[in-house]
Homo-oligomer: A and B are copies of this chain.
Amino acid sequence: MLDGIIISIDAMGGDNAPDIVIKGIEYFLSHEGSGRRARFLLHGDAEALAPLLEKAPRTRERSEVYHTESAIAMDDKPSQALRKGKGTSMWNAVASVKGGQAGVVVSAGNTGAFMAMSKLQLRAKKGVQRPALAASWPNLSGDMTVVLDVGANVECDAAQLAEFAVLGEAYYRAIYKKSEPSVGLLNVGTEEGKGNAVVKIANERLSQSQLGLNYLGFVEGHDISKGTVDVVITDGYTGNIALKTAEGTAKLVESFVKEALTRNIWSKFTSALNGWALHKLKKKMDPRRANGAVFLGLNGVAVKSHGGTDRVGFANALNIAMGLAESDFQDVIDARLDALHDEDDNIGFIS
């Protein structure tokens, strides 16, 4: 076994795999990962990986290749993916975490398939009804807001939302090194009495809790970008739609900006200056910074990179994976979940 933090990689997952995957690891090792003791188990086609590793000396030095014959396609349905199952690079990458050879698995492949395989092999933690997918979002204060669930569970009850609060808070602490991240529950208004039955019950449950969560109550849609709280809890249906609506809106505004800056009567004269401004903007809005959604609540850590990302984005997903593997956040979650469910029993909470 390798020493240091061991990251299992689905080398064949993603729109531009395995090329971007290896370039992403190399980039990570030259930047955020430089000097940290990361090692990689590369699950994929050994023949395809060999020439790529030739050109990636840092990666080569810190990796072991585990050959696989097959891979999950980006458009396979989760059920198809599970049938292909064992022997695919994705399955085997997850299996390394299950078997204890690696601390965390990263894939840029098919999201549904990765969720299904992670759940099936790693199983939900004791005390977690269903794992959730957490995403990071840039906000006005220059920090990140973590939102969960963004798509793993289309229907959630109040007890699940309370569990998400525990999962999200521990995740935020581990990744963004904040000691008491604040938590809010997404709703249509901030007054008590607003919202559907599920969020009302969850709000009451979290407000009364003595767990020590920094729970601030209801927040609204605009609070995500504002950074009113660090962690925003919601069901997977609403969270997924909010995330995609935000992505769409960001693209819309960017397109308006581009038009405003380039369709200008002095356009030729100012194009260089405006190009610079656009470059700055692009950097600030860089979706790669926020790349890496995490499945929380499993016995093991699974990080999903965006399928179409480049090496910088993949490196960011690796940075998240490494940060989680280095932290004690799974233990924190276990302790907090125990306390939450003890409290449930004491107050007779039934969701």
Q: Which of A's residues lie within 8 Å of B, judged by CB?
A: 138-140, 151, 154-155, 186-188, 194-197, 220-226, 234, 236-238, 240-257, 259-261, 263-264, 266, 270, 273-274, 276-278, 280-281, 284-285
Contacts and interface: CB of A to CB of B under 8 A. Distances in A.
A247 to B, nearest CB: 5
B240 A256 contact: no
A139 B194 CA distance: 29
Contact of A277 (B243, B253, B264): B264
B223 A248 contact: yes
A221 B250 contact: no
Given A188-B237, A226-B252, A245-B245, 4 more contacts: A154-B196, A221-B242, A263-B280, A273-B274
A220 B244 CA distance: 7
A206 B87 CA distance: 42
A50 to B, nearest CB: 37
A221 B247 contact: yes
A257 B245 CA distance: 19
How many subunits of this chain does the assembly comprise?
2
Question: Which of A155, A226, A273: most chain B CB closer than 10 A?
Answer: A273
Nearest to A186: B241
A98 to B, nearest CB: 27
A197 B155 CA distance: 9
B248 A222 contact: yes
B270 A284 contact: no
B248 A225 contact: yes
B264 A281 contact: no
Contacts of A155: 196-197
A186 to B, nearest CB: 6
Nearest to A234: B241
A157 to B, nearest CB: 13
27 contacts: A140-B251, A140-B255, A154-B188, A155-B196, A155-B197, A188-B236, A195-B237, A221-B242, A221-B243, A221-B246, A222-B247, A222-B251, A224-B249, A225-B251, A242-B242, A246-B249, A253-B254, A253-B285, A256-B281, A256-B285, A257-B257, A259-B284, A260-B277, A260-B280, A261-B277, A264-B276, A266-B273
